[in-house]
Amino acid sequence: MIVANPFAASGEWFRGTLHAHTTVSDGAMTPNHLIAHYAYAGWDFVALTDHWHATGPSEVTVTNTGTPHPVTVIRGIEVNTENGSTATGSSYHITGLGVDGPIPRRSEGTGVPSAQWYVDAIRERGGMAVIAHPYWSGLTLRDFEGLHGYLGIEVYNADTDVHIGRGDASLLWDDLLTHGHNVLGIGVDDCHRPGYDSVRGWTVVRAADRSGEAILSAIRAGNFYASAGPEIIDVHWDPGSNVIQVQCSPVRSITAVADGMKGARLNAGRFGASLGARRRRSASGRPEGVLEGELLTGAELHLTGRERYVRIQVEDAHGHRAWTNPLFIGPV
Ligand SMILES: [Zn+2]
Ligand SMILES: [Zn+2]
């Protein structure tokens, strides 16, 4: 099964966040002010995901007044199961993107079916369900067994990262992909206090236009990548080929992450290339990223052809990452 490669898709790139709170729930800014905040940051879209309230464009009345460019407001919601409903006794938080209408709180029942009830409720209202901040919630592979119909997980959640350092769910994502859960990874702020937990995690979507419908349908198709800093400019992979070409903003490592003991990484620095990684060469023919302090802007990564999945992950000099979705998922 081949998952979409947004770098091979037509359209334009739009950047935004898919998880943010306003004064409608526990956020510090009104919907109007939050949208203006993101407009000044240069964001193209924002999904408002207040707890138990489907906040949307109708709550935003002066969105674009005096701001640099229009921000597309996507109606969203965040719901959660009761504490004690996961393997470690915590709860699931689930965002619904493009959801139409409120979702009632459901108090009875525990365990995975309760999370399933909310995933189904989001889908019945036309939305996409995303498992929010799974590392913060303490979710493990067991919590995803039997759960289905959700789009993916937040591979990066800035709010839980700045609070307690549990924002990066890369490891859990690999566990899921390795065990046959073919889920996508999005990057979000989960903004509550703009300036503290905003403009730190985002999703870059390859969509036909900046309308909410186009952005949501591109997300549904997997045409996006997640970032907490670096820009991924191109990922070139021909289905059937064992070579992936990556171009990105300057980073200290470029990795093809795959299932156990497979994959390849190129690191900046003199001894930085693994067996499966090749350096780009500058116009003068000099290999890139070898000199002290010099970063990488691309790599050629070689696969074995036996990978179950491969995703690209880059990390900049500050340790900030960007993540593509799995490029392909082989036979289970
Ligand atoms: Zn939450
Ligand atoms: Zn939240």
Strands (E), the chain: 12-17, 45-48, 72-80, 93-97, 128-131, 152-157, 184-188, 202-207, 224-227, 232-236, 243-251, 253-258, 263-267, 277-279, 296-302, 309-315, 321-324, 328-329
* The pLDDT of residue 332: 45
Q: List the structure tokens of 117.
A: 């009830």
Q: List the structure tokens of 6.
A: 């947004």
247 CA to centre of ligand 1 in angstroms:
33
73-93 burial string, b = 16+ CB within 10 Å, else e?
A: bbbbbbbbbbeebbeeebbbb
292 CA to centre of ligand 1 in angstroms:
41
pTM beyond 0.75: the answer is yes
- Token pair 């004064």 is found at 23
133 CA to centre of ligand 2 in angstroms:
8
Type of residue numbered 58: S
Quick one: 122 exposed, middle or buried, by C-beta within 10 A (0-12, 13-18, 19+)? buried
* The pLDDT of residue 101: 83
4 CA to centre of ligand 2 in angstroms:
27
d(C-alpha 85, C-alpha 62), whole Å: 40
Taking a 5 Å cut-off on Cβ, the residues next to ion ligand 1 are 93, 132
93 CA to centre of ligand 1 in angstroms:
5
153 CA to centre of ligand 2 in angstroms:
13
Taking a C-beta distance cutoff of 8 angstroms, is the pair 296, 268 a contact? yes
Q: Identify the nearest ligand to the CA of 18 by its number.
A: 2
Among 154, 217, 146, which Cα is nearest to 183's?
154
Q: Identify the nearest ligand to the CA of 19 by its number.
A: 2
136 CA to centre of ligand 2 in angstroms:
11
Q: Identify the nearest ligand to the CA of 131 by its number.
A: 1
Among 79, 53, 43, 59, which Cα is nearest to 204's?
43
d(C-alpha 269, C-alpha 301), whole Å: 17
Q: Identify the nearest ligand to the CA of 26 by its number.
A: 2
135 CA to centre of ligand 1 in angstroms:
11
d(C-alpha 174, C-alpha 144), whole Å: 13
94 CA to centre of ligand 1 in angstroms:
7
91 CA to centre of ligand 1 in angstroms:
9
194 CA to centre of ligand 2 in angstroms:
13
* The pLDDT of residue 76: 97
Q: Identify the nearest ligand to the CA of 191 by its number.
A: 2
Is 310 in a helix, a strand, or coil? Answer: strand
C-alpha separations of 332 from 144, 260, 307, 328 in Å: 17, 14, 10, 12
* The pLDDT of residue 282: 81
Taking a 5 Å cut-off on Cβ, the residues next to ion ligand 2 are 78, 190
Among 79, 72, 81, 19, which Cα is nearest to 53's?
79
For residue 121, give every residue at least 6 positions away whose Cβ sits within 8 Å of its Cβ, in sequence order, or none.
Answer: 79, 96, 103
Phi, psi at residue 203, to the nearest 5°? -125, 135
What pairs with residue 329 in β-bridges?
309
Q: Identify the nearest ligand to the CA of 21 by its number.
A: 2
Q: List the structure tokens of 128.
A: 């996409």
d(C-alpha 178, C-alpha 63), whole Å: 42
Sheet containing 232-236: give its strands across: 232-236, 243-251, 296-302, 277-279
81 CA to centre of ligand 1 in angstroms:
11
229 CA to centre of ligand 1 in angstroms:
22
Q: Identify the nearest ligand to the CA of 132 by its number.
A: 1
pLDDT tens-digit profile, the chain (332 residues) = 567 799 999 999 999 999 999 999 999 999 999 999 999 999 999 999 999 999 888 888 765 556 677 899 999 999 999 888 899 999 999 999 999 988 988 866 555 668 999 999 999 999 999 999 999 999 999 999 999 999 999 999 999 999 999 999 999 999 999 999 999 999 999 999 999 999 999 999 999 999 999 999 999 999 999 999 999 999 999 888 899 999 999 999 999 999 999 999 999 998 887 788 999 988 888 999 998 899 999 999 999 989 999 999 999 999 999 999 998 776 64
147 CA to centre of ligand 2 in angstroms:
21
